[in-house]
Amino acid sequence: MTNPDSQTPTWRIAVIGSGPSAFYAAQFALNQKDVDVRLDMFERLPVPFGLVRLGVAPDHQVVKRVVNIYNKVAAAPGFRYFGNVELGRDLQIEDLERRYDQIIYAFGCSKSSNIGLPGEELAGVHGAAEMVGWYNGHPDFRGERYGLSEVEHAVVIGNGNVALDVARVLLQPPERLAPSDISDAALEELRRSSIREVSMLGRRGPAQAAYSAKELEEVDEVDEVELVVSKQEATPDPKSAAWLEEHGSRGKQRSVRYLKTCSEREPDQHSRKFRCRFLLSPVAFLGSERVEAVRVEQMEIYEDDAGVLRSRSTGTTQDIPCQMVLLSVGYRGDPLPGVPYNERNGAVPNVDGRVQHEPGGDVRAGHFAVGWSKRGPSGIIGTNMADSRATVMCMMEDRRSGSGLNPSSDQDTAELLRERGAEVVTWADWLRLDAWEVAEGKKRGKLRQKLETVEEMMRVIRELRDAEADS
Identify the residue among 102, 328, 373, 449 touching ligand NAP (CB under 6 A): 328
Please select the residue that binds ligand NAP; options are 203, 374, 375, 432, rule is CB under 6 A: 203
65-70 CB contacts, 8 Å cutoff, 24+ apart: 66/20, 66/381, 69/23, 69/27, 70/20, 70/23
User: Toward ligand NAP, which CB reaches closer, 23 or 42?
Assistant: 23
Region binding ligand NAP by CB under 6 A among candidate stretches 14-22, 249-257, 301-309, 376-384? 376-384
Contact pick of 157, 170, 229, 276 for ligand NAP (by CB under 6 A) = 157
Residue closer to ligand NAP, measured from CB, 202 or 340: 202
Could you tell me the smallest distance in angstroms from the CB atom of residue 380 to ligand NAP?
4
Burial of 343-362, coded b for 16+ CB within 10 Å and e otherwise, reads: eebbbbbbeebbbbeeeeee
Closest to 299 (Cα-Cα) out of 308, 309, 287: 309
User: Using the rule CB under 6 A, is 251 a contact of ligand NAP?
Assistant: no
Name the one range near ligand NAP by CB under 6 A: 198-206, 229-237, 289-297, 462-470: 198-206
Q: Which is nearer to ligand NAP, 182 or 417 (CB)?
A: 182
Smallest gap from Cβ 111 to ligand NAP, in A, equals 11
Subset of 208-237 contacting ligand NAP (CB under 6 A): 210, 215
Q: Which stretch binds ligand NAP (CB under 6 A): 87-95, 161-169, 220-228, 238-246?
A: 161-169
Which residues from 52-111 bind ligand NAP, rule CB under 6 A? none
Instruction: Please tell me whether residue 127 binds ligand NAP under the rule CB under 6 A.
Output: no
Of the residues 206, 248, 330, 404, which one makes contact with ligand NAP according to CB under 6 A: 330
Among 340, 321, 323, 343, residue whose Cα is nearest residue 332: 343
- To ligand NAP, the closest distance from the beta carbon of 315 in angstroms equals 17
Measured distance CA(42)–CA(86) in Å, rounded: 8
Candidates 84, 180, 281, 342; binder of ligand NAP (CB under 6 A) is 281
In the complex, minimum distance from the CB of residue 17 to ligand NAP, in angstroms, rounded to a whole number: 16
Of all residues in this chain, which one has the CB nearest to ligand NAP in the complex?
160
Nearer to ligand NAP, 51 or 355 (CB): 51
Q: Distance between CA 416 and CA 419 in Å, rounded?
A: 5
Residue 378 interacts with ligand NAP (CB under 6 A): yes or no: yes
128: left (phi over 0), alpha (psi -120 to 50) or beta: alpha
Nearer to ligand NAP, 372 or 436 (CB): 372
- Is 179 one of the binding residues for ligand NAP (CB under 6 A)? no
162, 177, 190, 276: which one binds ligand NAP (CB under 6 A): 162
Is residue 438 part of the contact set for ligand NAP (CB under 6 A)? Answer: no
Mark 381-420 with x for binding to ligand NAP (rule: CB under 6 A) and - for no binding: ----------------------------------------
In terms of CB distance, is 45 or 207 closer to ligand NAP? 207
Each residue 346-375 as x (binds ligand NAP by CB under 6 A) or -, in order, gives: ------------------------------
Work out how close the CB of 64 gets to ligand NAP at its nearest, in angstroms, rounded to a whole number: 12
Q: How far is the CB of 211 from ligand NAP (least distance, A)?
A: 7
- Cα–Cα distance between 367 and 389 in angstroms, integer? 15
Q: Residues in contact with ligand NAP, total (CB under 6 A)?
A: 23
258 Cβ neighbours under 8 A, 6+ residues apart: 213, 216, 217, 220
Nearer residue to ligand NAP within complex by CB, 308 or 469: 308
**With binding defined as CB under 6 A, does residue 278 bind ligand NAP?**
no
Using the contact rule CB under 6 A, the part of the chain among 176-184, 323-331, 339-347, 417-425 near ligand NAP is: 323-331
Whether 83 and 327 have beta carbons less than 8 Å apart is answered as no
Instruction: List residues near ligand NAP by CB under 6 A.
Output: 115, 157-163, 165, 202-204, 210, 215, 281, 328-331, 377-380
